[in-house]
Amino acid sequence: MTNRMDEVRRRRTFAIISHPDAGKTTLTEKLLLYGGAIHLAGAVKGRRARRHATSDWMDMEQERGISVTSSVLQFEYEGFEVNLLDTPGHQDFSEDTYRTMLAADSAVMLLDNRKGVEEQTRKLFRVCRMRRLPIVTFVNKCDRPGADPLELLDDVQEDLGIQCYPVTWPVMEGFDCVGVYDRRDGMIHRFERTGDHGQTKVPVTTVSIDDPGATEVLSEEALEGLREQVELLELAGTEYDEEAFQRGELTPTFFGSALLNFGVEPFLQYFLEHAPPPQPRDAETGTVDPSGEEFSGFVFKIQANMDPNHRDRIAFVRICSGRYEPGMTVKNVRTGEDVRLSAARQFMAQEREQVEEAVPGDVVGIHDRGSLRIGDTLSENGVRFGDIPRFSPEHFARVRVPDPLRRKHLDKGLRQLSEEGAVQVFYPAKRGGSPNPLVGAVGQLQFDVLVHRLDTEYNVDAELDGLSYDRARWVVGDDDEIEEAARGYGKTLVYDSKDRPLILFESEFALNNTERDHPDLEFHEVSP
């Protein structure tokens, strides 16, 4: 049996945050390519005979060319065990990203070199800052004309309040990016464009910026321009501070093109060397250290029907302490019931492999018969991690099934999809349910996925009637006053799956007036 703490120190568990269309799925594939997990990267968009991205295994994702679910992608690279928590690229599924980031120890922030910081990046960055995650930035699409690199970094620093330290810098020949300069060793990496659209590793020529032979790799004009930019960085740029990086206050920054594989490998090597291994986790009973002998972990994602042939249900567990071994028994702290972990799996998208051993930092998938929920703690010693919050939906609809004989199938589908976090389900009365429950989503596209999955996975032909509410707040206080606060035009009272009351509002005006008129009530945008 391997030394557990040696194994823990090799782990790197991280998520990628970005705005849609910044190239997240492409970068994910290229990390897998350079990590040796795949040998041929498929284009995400474009050619009719395209291979679908490795992480986008659901039919709807493949049809639309978007990422709407989170996958766990695990591979080994130069002595590191990498757990890449691949998150949805579409902003309508940002709540899934928020939850997944709770399982990460660090993050990669991906920016489009033409657009810099965009709205979805800001939202996800705030989650990183809340957790004080170390962040490494990759400025993507440098094969296309973009913003001036110095101006882009200034905008990031001003917009997000985080210092940027460029580790690599784009090397330009006229208007074309032909490589990157690595400030750590003074080496220029010139990449060759190949005809396979980035499906394989790109050939690279390296030379020192001070080597007289550098003019054989770059023109004298390009070399002189690079030297001037490097000198400016040294004189006026941010100084590197490893402790500030670990605190999430400084982000090492890389430039490149995930599509053409420019700058991907230097970025990957740096990230794995500097990103932290699994860290201590706060729990309701104190701090849980990865060195602890007894097993503990928490469920951050549930995915039903990953394998349509078997209608399975997988709970993804982030291990925080101890060691997983097949056949071990742990306790679901929420219910007090014993759970036997007999056949945990690790994943490469749809591909799965049985795990004989797993340590803190690893993510394992365990088969679940419906007893687990997102946020559940599994432990040997009763330690309990805090609940994973739900975020306030912004779109609402009432669900109907024309065929009343499919009602039970609808209830099962809504319950399982809600427990996955794919959608939130609300009822107009406690425990009583409703013939036509309400569903809430962060984005409209979640409703499309809901209808698609109810049809394909539960054989339910559901119809959604859109509602005019556009915000919701969990309300804490006296029950009678909550009912009084929900009366009136433009709002209604509902209950979530845990019987917690929420008020839905049609406007900011209605919300503000209700908060003003009922100062004794607490209104929460995130589930309390």
User: What's the pLDDT score for residue 495?
Assistant: 93
- Res 44 pLDDT > 90: no
C-alpha pair distances (Å), 123 with each of 95, 115, 211, 323, 442 = 11, 16, 44, 34, 13
Identify the CA nearest to 310 among candidates 355, 345, 362: 345
Q: What percent of the chain has pLDDT over 90?
A: 54
Residues 51 and 156 in one domain: yes
Domain boundary among 355, 379, 403: 379
Q: Average of pLDDT values for 140-154? A: 93
User: What's the pLDDT score for residue 389?
Assistant: 78
Q: Average of pLDDT values for 270-290? A: 93
Q: In which domain, by residue range, is 292 found?
A: 281-379
Tell whether 356 is covered by a domain.
Answer: yes
CATH number of the domain enclosing 145: 3.40.50.300
The amino acid that residue 68 corresponds to is V
Domain boundary among 274, 292, 321: 274
Question: How far is residue 493's CA from residue 462's CA, in Å, rounded to a whole number?
Answer: 24
In total, how many domains does the chain have?
Answer: 3
Question: How far is residue 401's CA from residue 164's CA, in Å, rounded to a whole number?
Answer: 52
- Supply the pTM of this predicted model: 0.81
Tell whether 3 is covered by a domain.
Answer: no
Residues 227 and 255 in one domain: yes
Question: How far is residue 380's CA from residue 295's CA, in Å, rounded to a whole number?
Answer: 5
Question: How far is residue 71's CA from residue 226's CA, in Å, rounded to a whole number?
Answer: 39
CATH number of the domain enclosing 449: 3.30.70.3280
CA 343 to chain centre: 25
Tell whether 213 is covered by a domain.
Answer: yes
Mean pLDDT of the chain: 86
Tell whether 95 is covered by a domain.
Answer: yes
In sequence order, the 6+-apart residues with CB closer than 8 A to the CB of 490 are 505, 506, 507, 509, 510
Residues 242 and 222 in one domain: yes
510 φ/ψ angles, rounded to the nearest 5 degrees = -65, -40
Residues 161 and 59 in one domain: yes
Tell whether 76 is covered by a domain.
Answer: no
Per DSSP, what are the bridge partners of residue 110?
18, 138
- Res 349 pLDDT > 70: no
Residues 124 and 262 in one domain: yes
Q: In what order do the strands lie in the sheet with 501-505?
A: 491-495, 501-505, 471-476, 522-524
User: What's the pLDDT score for residue 85?
Assistant: 86
Domain boundary among 351, 379, 407: 379
Question: How far is residue 471's CA from residue 505's CA, in Å, rounded to a whole number?
Answer: 5
Tell whether 386 is covered by a domain.
Answer: no
Tell whether 81 is covered by a domain.
Answer: no
pLDDT higher for 135 or 78? 135
Q: Where are the beta strands (DSSP E) in 35-95?
A: 71-77, 80-86
The sign of the CA dihedral 359, 365, 369, 370 is: positive
Residues 260 and 289 in one domain: no
Residues 329 and 410 in one domain: no
Q: Average of pLDDT values for 237-243? A: 91
